[in-house]
Structure 1
Amino acid sequence: MASRLPPVHALSAFEAAARHASFALAAEELCITPSALSHRIRLLEEFVGERLFLRDGRAVSLSEFGRRYLDVVKAALRTLSDFPLPHRTAPAQPRIKVTVPPTFARCLLVPRLSEFAALHPDIVLELFLSVPLYDLSLSESDVEVRFGAGKYTETVTEKLFEEPTFAVASPAYLARIGKLDTPADLKQATLLRSALEPWQPWFEVAGLDWPEPSNGLRLDDLGLLLEAVRHGHGVGLTRQHFVQDLLERGEVVHLFKDIQLKTPPHAYYVVYEPQVRARPEVNVFIDWLLDTFGKL
């Protein structure tokens, strides 16, 4: 007797919902209604006899069984999608799933994508966002750009670039609290905190024997950190390629221009599993990333 197999459309719905951690976003990707996606998930749960997701209001997360089953499903779908079909009349365009941090995507990658598209118009890029320092799984992407210390096991890790960090504030904030002539004057300022741009290494360069701030607004997104600076919430650390436009428009001010942390603890890296270089489209994209951002 032939064994019964799970429906492929339900497997695709499960993989998309797990990747997005959202039924609504998965339904949008698959061009179906959220109720249709929920029906497919229920169908698959009935098939396997286990709950795949834990539901808390609108939030969903994988169950323990769901996490284990996802690995099997992704491997099966990848095998089907990668299997060569020599007689297919209209081959699918090569696609690359790329996961990137939000500020890098907004300020650096997207403005340069037209260059890659001009060189490789046949390659489709699919961009997904990740949270720096937290999302460390390559399981759902072909290539990742990570912002961190560059210590990632069992992957190929190549540095894209690093930039010095320096302090900035808005003119309105400076007018409110008074001039900041020396780093020691920061004792009267609100220091915006971020795990991505810690203050303590910059303090050392500035000659301040101060600990890392433990109070005040914390923003673990470099773009949000700059927005908080721009809106006058305090002093923050940033990098040239992110803040250049704001500096030119006079919306923020570069403080203590002779003090920069030349080698900050975090930089940008391209991260991938060794075997993906065997795919020509992925290989040329990684080389383009290294060439493009290695020149910054």
Structure 2
Amino acid sequence: MPKRFPPVHALAAFEAAARSGSFAVAANQLCITPSALSHRIRLLEEFVGDRLFIRDGRAPTLTAFGRSYLDVVCVALRTLTDFPLPNKSSPAQPRIKLTVPPTFARCLLMPRLASFTAAHPDIVVDVFLSVPLYDLALSESDLEVRFGAGKYPDLETVKLLEEPAFPVASPAYLERIGGIASPADLSKATLLRSALEPWKPWFDEAGLDWQEPTTGLRVDDLGLLLEAVRHGHGICLTRQHFAQPLIASGEVVELFDIRLATPPHAYYVVYEPSARARPEVQLFIDWLLAAYATA
């Protein structure tokens, strides 16, 4: 059986936290968020099978095991650091780790991101994907774009983009069910469900005293939700930026003239308060807010 090795990024987090006596200071030194540093230390504690720090609300202190393990870690890291490497003097590029929902990444971020990279070619942007409403920890990202209600305790939250929600269907599906002339006719249709786009607020806007559907296909990805509509699975709620290409091509059509102006979910930029201290992160936050100010 191959040996398991402790993750080097977790060892570095442990050494920095032990040396500085502060998770916040160590996180700043490693250019990560405090929550990311805590995550790495927990990962290492799971690996070694024992606690490394005593966390009692004050500054973290090493356990007896942590003190003995620190000596071993420092020797190992010093060996890696002192090993001669080619191009070791090359300065590291500023880097931003950004986590975004997949449909936002595909439809809203990628068409605009070139303007940031062209203006700041020295900053590396790493894009990761998350599932809306499920991945609620910043993990190791510097910034996240979240699709949700905007209530994230202990995090800085800025609304980035909000669009009205409206129902769409494919022409073939409408023909199959005999057409839809009024909101009440939705009773004969299959309403596709998603935690991201609940129907009840739109029902209220349309004057329908209906409850949230409990049957029918459920899809918790906004892009896949539209694909389900395109393939004739039923009717869904969507937003302009996502549906416009399919509406323009005639693959889906908007139903009625009723749009929910303030749906329960919108896109938010979310980050640790300390993240703004890094110039590249502040630049990217400013770019995001400017890029979507008139979207």
- Name the structure 1 match of 2:270: 271
**Mapping of residues 127-138 of structure 1, within 5 Å:** 127-138=127-138
Alignment partners' CA distance in 2, 1:150 and 1:47: 34
- Name the structure 1 match of 2:190: 190
Deviation, structure 1 residue 49: 4.9
Alignment partners' CA distance in 1, 2:204 and 2:46: 59
Deviation, structure 1 residue 10: 3.5
Alignment partners' CA distance in 2, 1:12 and 1:168: 49
**Mapping of residues 1-296 of structure 1, within 5 Å:** 10-12=6-8, 48-49=48-49, 89-256=89-256, 258-296=257-295
Q: Note the aligned Cα RMSD (angstroms).
A: 2.6
Deviation, structure 1 residue 12: 3.5
Deviation, structure 1 residue 139: 2.7
Q: Secondary structure at the match of 2:7?
A: helix
Deviation, structure 1 residue 14: 7.0
Alignment partners' CA distance in 2, 1:122 and 1:147: 29
Question: CA contact under 8 A between 2:6 and 2:47: conserved in structure 1?
Answer: no
Deviation, structure 1 residue 196: 0.3
- Name the structure 2 match of 1:53: none
Q: Give the structure-1-normalised TM-score.
A: 0.72
| Residue type of the alignment partner of 2:291 | T
Alignment partners' CA distance in 1, 2:254 and 2:45: 56
Instruction: Tell which structure's C-alpha radius of gyration is larger.
Output: 2
Change in 2 beyond 3 A, CA 1:135/1:49: closer
Cα deviation digits, residues 115-171 of structure 1 (max 9, x gap): 111111111111111111111101311000000000110010000010000000001
Change in 2 beyond 3 A, CA 1:179/1:133: same
| Residue type of the alignment partner of 1:160 | L
Question: CA contact under 8 A between 2:95 and 2:125: conserved in structure 1?
Answer: yes
Q: Give the structure-2-normalised TM-score.
A: 0.73
Alignment partners' CA distance in 2, 1:49 and 1:185: 60
Question: CA contact under 8 A between 2:148 and 2:267: conserved in structure 1?
Answer: yes
| Residue type of the alignment partner of 1:12 | V
Alignment partners' CA distance in 2, 1:152 and 1:146: 10
Unaligned runs of 5+ in 2: 12-43, 51-72, 82-87
Deviation, structure 1 residue 255: 0.5
Alignment partners' CA distance in 2, 1:185 and 1:47: 58
Aligned residues: 228
Q: Secondary structure at the match of 2:135?
A: coil
